[in-house]
Amino acid sequence: MSDHAGLKAADLRKLLSANGIDVIGELEIELISGGRSNLTYVVSDAERRWVARRPPLAGLTPSAHDMEREWAVTSALSGTAVPVATPVAIDRTGEFIGAPCTVVEFVDGQVIRSAEDLDAWSDTDVATNFDALVRTLADLHAVDYRAVGLADFGRPEGFAARQVKLWTRQWGHVKTRELPDVERLADLLAARTPEQARSTIVHGDFRIDNTIVAPNDPGRIAAVVDWEMAALGDPLTDVALMCVYREPVFSQVLGFEAAWTSDRYPDSAAMAQRYAQIAGADLGDWGFYVGLANLKLGVIAEGITHRALQGGSSGAAGAERAAEATAHFIDTGLKALQ
């Protein structure tokens, strides 16, 4: 058995057994991502593979690493048109693992993170992938959350207004300097929050690298992953965030040339229109939603640098410089509201 810090094979075997999974032979565990976000492991026995996730070993921020949230949403979405990794087992209290932990089936495919990852695809591949991604988001928003057992998952009404307050409050925690335009954008958003036309499940972080693309088929999404930010709320917040992630400056926040910022994909306006067409949905006060998405990304960029300056960087390249993108996002947000 191969043990890792935070996940021991004997403990995992007990968890799987308690959920009716007979482990064949030895359990092998390989850490595939870590840092300040959830630790992710590929686990295999003689016949099968799974993915296990648990919170980081230090510096827990429960709201961002809510294992229960991810488990509830993916369990509810299994069997719908939204592709997710099939849930296998959960340790809610740390009874088995020593910390909350989830296990899902391994999904074979490719994760497209960098512009370099796109090099293997033709322009036709990129176009079919774009359409598949937008269709997948529209499929998510079409799910009747009550019918799949998520009626008590949260309070969808007033979601956008709460998001404005949340990210304004977060700015106060992470700002590394004064930037009056942040408060100006927040005030304008608070005064302009539209009535919510629809309430759906929202992913909260939807872009290409939070999906697994089917092997050798860019036009098929094998699974949507990273559901820690999922909620019930206004679907247009999801659409706008997907579009604003297309801003070239987002690569600076990540510290590498991101696939999603590549000019090989359609621009954000075309993306929003394609969603509206597929979902049969109105984009409402689109300027508000774009403004809110820019506020969120500006604060996230600032937070990455704030943590790096506190010595808590995840090791991402250029974390100390991520906040250089903040003013751009805030300025873009203000322009969207004009």
Q: pLDDT (tens digit, 9 = 90+) per residue, 184-200?
A: 999 999 999 999 999 99
pLDDT in tens, the chain (338 residues): 577 778 999 999 999 999 999 999 999 999 987 655 678 899 999 999 999 998 877 655 444 347 888 899 999 999 999 999 999 999 988 899 988 899 999 999 999 999 999 999 999 999 999 999 999 999 999 999 999 999 999 999 999 999 999 999 999 999 999 999 999 999 999 999 999 999 999 999 999 999 999 999 999 999 999 898 999 999 999 999 999 999 999 998 888 999 999 999 999 999 999 999 999 999 999 999 999 999 999 999 998 888 888 876 555 566 788 888 999 999 999 999 99
Nearest to 72 by CA among 61, 81, 62, 84: 84
For helices 235-244 and 123-142, what crossing angle results, to 10°?
A: 160
Q: What is the DSSP letter of 115?
A: G
Task: Say if CB 288 and CB 192 are below 8 A apart.
Answer: yes
- Which residues, other chains included, contact 254 with Cβ-Cβ below 8 Å and sequence gap of 6+? 316
Alpha carbon distance 94, 98 (integer Å)? 4
- For residue 63, what pLDDT is reported? 42
pLDDT digits (tens, 9 = 90+) for 14-61: 999 999 999 999 999 999 876 556 788 999 999 999 999 988 776 554
**Helix (H) or strand (E) segment spanning residue 200:** strand 200-202
State the pLDDT at residue 317. Answer: 61
Q: What residues pair up with 89 in beta bridges, in sequence order?
A: 103
